[in-house]
Amino acid sequence: MPKTIEELQSIALRIRREIVTMIGAAKSGHPGGSLSAVEILVELYFNHMHIDPQNPTDPDRDRFILSKGHAAPVLYAVMAEAGYRDTPKNELNTLRKLGSVYQGHPDKRFIPSLEASTGSLGEGLSMALGMGFAARLDKRSWRTYVMLGDGEIQEGQIWEAAMAGPFHKLDNVVAIVDSNRIQLDGFVKDIMAEEPLADKWRAFGWHTIELDGHDFAAIRAAFEEAERTKGKPTCLVAHTIKGKGVSFMENNPKFHGTAPTPDELKLALQELQ
């Protein structure tokens, strides 16, 4: 039974609360790019992907790689909510503390259910292509999803991989660019010329879909369109709002990599009701 949009929205709200709470407790971390990715991850983990959190080593599971690894809190909160045994919900607030499974960036050594260790930008798309190859070689139908940041794609390796995916016709791979338009030093447009972003992916041979990355219906439709697309991989350019859901974090470069103070956390949680 697919989940209704209302159900997903209520999960997304809980995830947002977890994100700001755990980053507040850690006193460091990346709230902005975690909050911008919530709907996409919720749709993937609670509706779209063929996964069984109780059986995380199923060879036929769909794979997700968070290439923009600094958004680890959204992945941790979603996996904990989904019920993976190695992502206990009651430990989310140990984020970034010594001994925690919730490392600053996703680390397979601590959470074996993660599909890859990430954090150094630019590397997830290549690994996703490798996984796509493996599935095709084994004639299996599982699919690989990889989320990239719009700052991250300034890394040259992304474009090496962007060339390789369509060349090898890896239609079982979906890249999602979380286009929240802010990176560490400020607005993307002030740091590097990326536009026209969707045209770049199209020119590299990707079936490219632009969408509102906070609209569950649009996200669902895009993933379904990707699944129907044969002979080339799909890239979703998801227009999102950095810090989405917390008014003072929205579109605020400061909250790319700054934790809320206790007072800010209180305010954020009041808004996230």
Which chain residues interact with another protein by CB under 8 A?
59, 63, 107-109, 115-120, 122-135, 137, 156-157, 160-161, 163-164, 167-168
Nearer to another protein, 97 or 108 (CB): 108
Min dist. Cβ of residue 29 to another protein (A): 20
Min dist. Cβ of residue 148 to another protein (A): 13
- Which residue has 């004639």 as its token pair? 139
- Strands 207-212 and 182-183 turn out to be unpaired
Kindly tell me the burial class for residue 270, based on how many C-beta atoms sit within 10 Å of its own C-beta (0-12, 13-18, 19 or more): exposed
- Which residue has 């609360």 as its token pair? 17
Nearer to another protein, 126 or 180 (CB): 126
Enter the tokens of residue 208. Answer: 């490219």
Nearer to another protein, 24 or 56 (CB): 56
Nearer to another protein, 81 or 152 (CB): 152
Min dist. Cβ of residue 119 to another protein (A): 7
Min dist. Cβ of residue 40 to another protein (A): 21
Phi, psi of 254 (to 5 degrees): -55, -35
Min dist. Cβ of residue 49 to another protein (A): 15
Nearer to another protein, 164 or 272 (CB): 164
3-state secondary structure 192-216: CCCCCHHHHHHHCCCEEEEEECCCH
CB atoms within 10 A of CB 54: 10
